[in-house]
Amino acid sequence: MRLFRPRKPSRRCRPQWPSLLTEMNGYVLPCLPAEHGSVLTTALNLRAWCGECGVTYPGKFVIEPGTPPPFEWAREPKNTLCSCEPRWPRLMVMFRGRWYLGHPGSHGRLVVDGASDGAFCRNCGAGFLGEMVIDLDDTSHLEKPGET
C-alpha cells in the first residue's frame, strides 16, 4: 500500500527549456537540446537541467559550442587582449618576491613564462600568456629607483 505518490517535476517555464545546464568537473556548462546528443555527454552519462526551474531535462543534449573546456588548466584569464598601441609595451611580473619590468620575447638573460608567473601589461592590465624577458636593470617602476 502506498501512502504517498512521488510527484513528477512540473515544467512551468515559458518558453519551454529556456536554458539548459550540466555539471562537469565542478564547472556548470551551458547546453543545447540535440537529437542524438554527443559522445561526451552520452559516454559520461551527464545530466542536464533547466537553468530557470532546475527540472531535469529528459532528452539528449550537447554542450554549447564555444564553451571553454571544464578543466582549470585549459582556461585562460579573461582579459588577455592588450589594448595598447603598440601591443605589450611594458610587461610587469613578480619574480623571486620582487616586481620587474620586461618585454615579450625569448632572447635575453632571464626569460620567464608569463602565463605561469602572472605577467601583465603595465599600462592596461591585460594578462600576458607568452614568454617574456625580464629587464633586471630597469627600476623605473619603483618609487625610489635606487631600491630593489
- Residues 48 and 91 placed together within one structural domain of the fold: no
- Do 88 and 53 belong together in one domain? no
* Residue 12 covered by a domain: no
Q: Give CA–CA dist 138/114, Å, rounded.
A: 18
100: number of Cβ within 10 Å = 24
Q: Tens digits of per-residue pLDDT, 101-129? A: 999 998 888 999 888 888 888 888 888 88
Does 50 share its domain with 86? no
Same domain, 39 and 93: no
pTM over 0.85: no
34-88 residue pLDDT tens:
998 888 888 889 999 988 888 999 999 999 887 777 766 545 545 678 888 888 9
Residue 1 pLDDT > 50, yes or no?
Answer: no
Is 141 in the same domain as 88? yes
DSSP type of residue 129:
-
Q: Do 26 and 55 fall into the same domain? A: yes
**Which residue among 65, 89, 122 closes a domain?**
65
Q: Phi first, then psi: what are they for 116, rounded to 5°?
A: -75, -25
Structural domain harbouring 43:
20-65
Cα 49 from Cα 55, distance rounded (Å): 5
Question: What amino acid is encoded at 105 in this protein?
Answer: G
Are 24 and 86 found together in one domain? no
123 and 86 belong to one structural domain: yes
